[in-house]
Amino acid sequence: MNVKHLTDQIISKKSFLCLGLDSDLNKIPKHLLNEVDPIFEFNKLLIDSLNNLIVAVKINTAFYESEGSKGWKTLEKTIAYINSNYPKLFTIADAKRGDIGNTSDRYAQAFFKHMEFDSITVSPYMGSDSVEPFLQYENKNTIILGLTSNKGATDFQIDNDGSFDLFKKVLLKSKDWKNSNNLMYVIGATKSSFLKDVRKIVPDNFLLIPGVGAQGGDLEETFKNGVNKNIGILVNSSRSIIYAGNDKDFLKKSYIEAKRLQAEMNILLDNIND
């Protein structure tokens, strides 16, 4: 899927909501533990229930890799289910990969060719030759970590002594990489005050924005500072939706939370030209 199709979905659904599947066996409703593959069943039920409210799904691979081969199989089953039943949903492998050429090339093959994700998150710290192997895939997007939502982001990404922020250098340099039009950027909602600076550097690329909800980011401020002519933002929500309930009516509670966010997004999109 390319970004034009993603924009079309945003306009059609009146939503720029990305569902984060940080699915934890210790947190899902206990009645699902009787299933052969509890996490897959949990993911499947959520996607079936929420697909009309969301435009993207972000699968945090750590929650699957931590379970060994069984977890990896659940990951494969989840992405295959989305691709088969909801092909218009934009899929993100939140894997935060990044290594020199041959290794990055193999990571790209795993997530783009084998599992057929639309995009993957990548750490840009090692520079262009660690990212460009991902960028060679047509209609696939590489989402590099720009300014993240965690507390430790200020250790390196923002320069507190008044010098040029490292995250800005990353954004500027990445524009020179081959096939940089396939880049998207992670910018945390808890750093939404920086979004205007981000848009001065990368006005046209999509931004993946975590941190709204459980981490305290403000949706309206994020939208106001981050939106571009193609909408250009995906706001991810994970825990506040998927763990809204933990009993047999968990889907109802998850739907209520997702609908609340989508309704706010609808209003923001309707007022975009006001």
Look at the block and give the residue holding tokens 């706010």. Answer: 264
Chain Cα centroid distance, residue 168:
20
How many residues belong to the chain? 274
From the list 96, 224, 253, 259, the catalytic residue is 96
| The pair of three-digit structure tokens given for residue 139, joined into one six-digit string | 């209609």
257 φ/ψ angles, rounded to the nearest 5 degrees: -70, -45
| The pair of three-digit structure tokens given for residue 205, joined into one six-digit string | 């690329």
List b or e across 218-253, with b for residues whose CB sees 16 or more CB atoms inside 10 angstroms: ebeebbebbbeeebbbbbbbbebbbbbbeeeebbee
Closest CA to 56 of 98, 103, 95, 8: 8
Half-sphere exposure of residue 14, counting CA atoms within 13 Å on the CB side? 13
Neighbours of 109 (CB within 10 A): 13
| The pair of three-digit structure tokens given for residue 207, joined into one six-digit string | 């931004």
First to last CA, the chain: 30
Measured distance CA(30)–CA(80) in Å, rounded: 25
Q: Is 44 a catalytic residue?
A: no
Measured distance CA(108)–CA(37) in Å, rounded: 27
Measured distance CA(188)–CA(181) in Å, rounded: 21
Catalytic machinery residues? 96
